[in-house]
Amino acid sequence: MSQPPFVLVISADNDPQLDLLSPIPHVTGKDFSAFAQAAPRAEVIFHWSGSRDLLRQVFLASPNVRWVHSRYAGLDHVLFPELVASPVPLTNGSGVFSASLGEFALAAILFFAKDLARMRHNQRARRWEPFEVDEIAGQTVGIVGYGDIGRAVAARVHAMGMRVLALKRHAPAKSDLGPDPLVEKFFKTEELGAMLALCDYIVVAAPLTAETHHMLSEAAFAAMKPSAVLINVGRGPVVDQGALLRALDAKRIRGAGLDVFEQEPIPHDDPIWSYENVLISPHCADNTKTWLSDAMRFFLAQHQRFTKGEPLKNVVRKDLGY
């Protein structure tokens, strides 16, 4: 029986989930010295955690590598020119964390619809002050970036009776496998403003690429309803944070629920901390009790496919960045 493919595991942390790799021949390390001798015989590189520079260094020293896997769904901190140009397939953790991110988007919608911040403020003040709340059924959610996370958002808000619009780089044609039952209408990238104008809530779930950097900036906020709420569960720099704060100051939109930011951690003196109409999650909306174990189990299943010569899941378009 042949030996399973040898794996180099880049990890900046001593996560207990790494113990699950024990049946697979591998070397784990957080600096290049750990991989120098083993790199020539490696067939797989598993980027569990650590810097892009280290991943690049290990990749360039591994002439026989035939597959690279990243624990993360986002690839903006993973891709480098030599990997993009190579024929080596890259897979990611897309889908592993989507359910929790979909739940966060729904929670943020309800946070604003029911004005939970006002309820908590009045409770602390021991103030009995009834007020009107919104019903989300019948309201419109626009999803910017309709990939796996976007579909997870759509499934949850659609179940609550909300209308779903979606922006997708390549909107599905009518001749494809029938209409998407969750989405009322798809919009192309150049139709972003038209979609935003129709939305009560906008959920950003797009990856960060050269094309999506600051996709939501001054023009996008100008197109939104004054009652609109922006929710970002994708990547921080897809939203121009300065433009967002200016839109909030001018009351061009109602508020924002953010799990990701242009700079993380948010600096202590960043003005965004003081905005009452911004819900801040410290990039942990997908940090469930099992998220690391789920990510490891996904890699182990992928490794089995690779060993058997079966097609890998989540093969990304390296040239597009997702």
pLDDT digit string (tens) for 244-259?
999 999 999 999 999 9
Q: Is the pLDDT of residue 299 over 70?
A: yes
Q: Could you give the CA distance from residue 110 to residue 218 in angstroms, rounded to a whole number?
A: 26
Q: How confident is the model at residue 170 (pLDDT cuts 50, 70, 90)?
A: confident
**Cβ atoms of 26 and 6 closer than 8 Å:** yes
**Cβ atoms of 52 and 72 closer than 8 Å:** no
Domains of the chain, first to last: 7-95+289-308 (3.40.50.720), 98-280 (3.40.50.720)
Q: Could you give the CA distance from residue 74 to residue 235 in angstroms, rounded to a whole number?
A: 8
Q: Is the pLDDT of residue 174 over 90?
A: no
Phi, psi of 84 (to 5 degrees): -60, -40
Q: What is the dihedral of CA 80, 82, 83, 84, to 10 degrees?
A: 80
DSSP code, position 104:
H
Q: Is the pLDDT of residue 129 over 90?
A: yes
Q: How confident is the model at residue 237 (pLDDT cuts 50, 70, 90)?
A: very high
pLDDT, average across residues 120-129: 98
Q: Is the pLDDT of residue 70 over 90?
A: yes
- Residue found under tokens 């940090």: 287
Question: Among 188, 271, 272, 263, which residue's Cα sits nearest to residue 230?
Answer: 272
Q: Is the pLDDT of residue 32 over 60?
A: yes
Is residue 235 part of the annotated active site? The answer reads yes
Phi, psi of 34 (to 5 degrees): -70, -20
Is residue 132 part of the annotated active site? The answer reads no
User: From the candidates 52, 283, 297, 305, which is the catalytic residue?
Assistant: 283
Q: Is the pLDDT of residue 1 over 50?
A: no
User: From the candidates 26, 47, 235, 303, which is the catalytic residue?
Assistant: 235
Q: What pairing do the DSSP bridges indicate for beta strands 229-232 and 201-204?
A: parallel
Q: Could you give the CA distance from residue 245 to residue 217 in angstroms, rounded to a whole number?
A: 10
Report the chain's mean pLDDT, rounded to a whole number.
96
User: From the candidates 135, 264, 276, 310, which is the catalytic residue?
Assistant: 264
Is residue 211 part of the annotated active site? The answer reads no
Q: Is the pLDDT of residue 175 over 60?
A: no
Q: Quick check: bond before 265 cis, omega within 30? A: yes
Q: How confident is the model at residue 169 (pLDDT cuts 50, 70, 90)?
A: confident
**DSSP states of 45-72:** EEE-SS-HHHHHHHHHT-TT--EEEESS
